[in-house]
Structure 1
Amino acid sequence: MFERIAFIGAGRLARTLAPAWAAAGQRVVAVASRQPGAAQDLALHLPGCQALAPEAAVHSADLVLLTVADDAIASVAARLPWRSGQAVLHCSGATELAALAPAEALGARIGGFHPLQIFSDPARAAALLAGSTVGIEANDAALSARLHDLAAALGLKPLSLRPGTRAAYHAAANLAASSLLAVLAEARQVWAAIGLPPEAALAALLPLARGTLDAAESRGLAGALSGPVARGDAGVLTAHLQALEGLGAEHAAFYRALLSRQLDLAAEAGRQPEALLALLRRQLQLLQSC
């Protein structure tokens, strides 16, 4: 078991994970940062932890997390004095473990630990960790087991990632997170285009979005589907697309792409006859070609 943990990088992710692990009984012994004040501030809140230079932090720990920007992972890994048997992790969703090759070449075990949560507010993120998922990858079984233990200490649900899949995994996570904001932004633009106050859009639409997410949690994606696709209402879909075409082809194209995925969910739900869904798909294609 790795007993001493260090963080290289004292940003929002480190300010979430380090206190959470310390509270769960893990030994966080060092924090390093390009901004010494940030490292000192974090270390002050962790019993037995010191703010150190990166090289000293690496020397002091058995398990080191690189909580730096994705683009900095490889360069940071290349310049630090790793040792055999040490464990080195990055916390990027999209970056492959190859970025840690310099540490592996010196005998360190390498892995990835990517919590699927929003860290813009570390205090709120800490409260949401339990029950969230964490993407885990390691180059050996012992490190993988340790990462599962660290996930369990925070109530995280481990998800094992295969080499070469991280960018697609992270893209899917982005679709489920910030891409929701893009859909809401599109709805706000449509409201503004027809004279409704755009500043009222969030207040009006967020309860609908929350209700949809709650339904998805309880009934699954296909089971939560509602609206004209779920009802097989071809007339309403035609009216939607014609109205959006009138506001600009980009609005209709965006909506049409979403409708295609909704039709897939409707087929999965099995509530409408296949013939009706096929009709809706043909109608979608006809409207696109017009």
Structure 2
Amino acid sequence: MPFCEAINQSNIFSSGGPISQNHKTRSKIIAIIGCGRAGSKLGFWLSRSGYKIEALFDPDITKAEKLSIEVNAEKVCSEASHAASCSDIIFISTPDSLIKPTCAEIAKGGGFNTGSIVFHLSGSLPSSILLEAAKKGALTASFHPLQSLAGGDTEINPFKDILIAVEGYAEAVAQAKKMAIDLGARPYEIDGNAKTLYHASAVIASNYLVSLMKMASEVMAASGIPEEKAFEFLLPLVKGTLANMEKMGVEQALTGPVSRGDATTVIAHINGITEKTPDLKKAYIELGKIALQISESQNFIPEHLINQLRDIFESS
């Protein structure tokens, strides 16, 4: 079986490696290992930013073939090591649990060259999990776009003006920063040991925002407004709050009964949620406590109202 299916017949792989120009003389040549949503988005926009996507691999070959058309890739490979071996820069864009074993598989198959740059896209894992690549002389780093990459829109660049967190070997980090800038993003170097908390923050801001909107929709549905309409009605409120936070800062954008010290309304909320949506009571109270901390730190309300609300949340 050939290493790769060559899209361009002048670059067919032989058993001795790529027939194309020597690895050391190529520049900006990239392999994408894992063509899911993140890998595909990254590959597509890197190709639009002047980078050559040389080779693709995914266990589901149809995903790799689809991306190859979008980015004009030279090769779709049947093994990850073969895709990696013909590229200067390798992105391992698999799910987090597969990054380490995929890296080991590529190393075992001779896919890493001395001086190759290897990135993974995990937000929570450090670059040190790419140890098997480093053992082969590759330069390793992590490259995490702080963005939700769901959806298939190819007109709006999802990397524009976002944070891309990077850490790892200095040479790889330098390349990561350049690529981030080329994508229109803002690179920021972080400590690999801090990535768990960094990623937890991202989960709260993105994933748990979805959870929060589901919670708000359920409570609104309990008021008699159909849940399928609730998001439509709540969305302008959410957008307005985000705009206020962008303009004024997070703490100063807080409004509502806690920020006013309106204990009567808070008690009514807790009683209503307890009656109609009891599973959401705890979440409402815990979020209320955070709102109270903000109100206290910003001196929104006097101390006696802070204490009154604190007693309400604790006793409920």
Q: Is the 8 A contact 1:32 1:39 kept in 2?
A: yes
Q: Which residue of 2 aligns with 1:12?
A: 37
In proportion to residue count, which structure has more helix?
1
Moved more, 94-103 or 120-129: 120-129
State which of 97, 108, 111 in structure 1 corresponds to 2:127: 97
* Percent sequence identity over aligned pairs: 28
1:187-206 superposed matches below 5 A = 187-206=216-235
**Structure 1 residues 191 and 46: CA distance shift in structure 2, 3 A:** closer
Q: Does structure 1 residue 182 correspond to structure 2 residue 211?
A: yes
Q: Which residue of 2 aligns with 1:121?
A: 151
Structure 2: distance between partners of 1:206 and 1:176: 16
Match of 1:45, SS state, is helix
Q: Is the 8 A contact 1:221 1:265 kept in 2?
A: no
Q: Which amino acid aligns with 1:3?
A: K
Q: Does structure 1 residue 112 correspond to structure 2 residue 145?
A: no
Q: Does structure 1 residue 226 correspond to structure 2 residue 255?
A: yes
1:1-290 superposed matches below 5 A = 3-47=28-72, 49-53=74-78, 54-80=80-106, 81=110, 82-123=112-153, 126-138=156-168, 140-247=169-276, 249-286=278-315, 288=316
Structure 2: distance between partners of 1:122 and 1:112: 24
Structure 2: distance between partners of 1:201 and 1:5: 44
Deviation at 1:48, TM superposition (A): 5.7
Deviation at 1:7, TM superposition (A): 0.6
Match of 2:193, SS state, is coil
- TM-score (norm: length of structure 2): 0.83
Structure 1: distance between partners of 2:61 and 2:281: 50
Structure 2 stretches of 5 or more lacking a match?
1-25
Q: Which amino acid aligns with 1:11?
A: G
CA deviation vs aligned residue, 1:245-272 (integer Å, no higher than 9, x gap): 2235432211000001111222333332
Match of 2:280, SS state, is helix
Q: Is the 8 A contact 1:97 1:111 kept in 2?
A: yes
Q: Which amino acid aligns with 1:13?
A: A
- TM-score (norm: length of structure 1): 0.90
Match of 2:192, SS state, is coil
Deviation at 1:95, TM superposition (A): 2.3
The CA RMSD over aligned residues, in Å, is 2.1
Structure 1 stretches of 5 or more lacking a match?
none
**Structure 1 residues 69 and 191: CA distance shift in structure 2, 3 A:** same
CA deviation vs aligned residue, 1:102-122 (integer Å, no higher than 9, x gap): 111222111111111122214
Q: Which runs of 4+ in 1 moved over 6 A?
A: none
Q: How many residues are matched?
A: 286
Structure 1: distance between partners of 2:223 and 2:300: 33
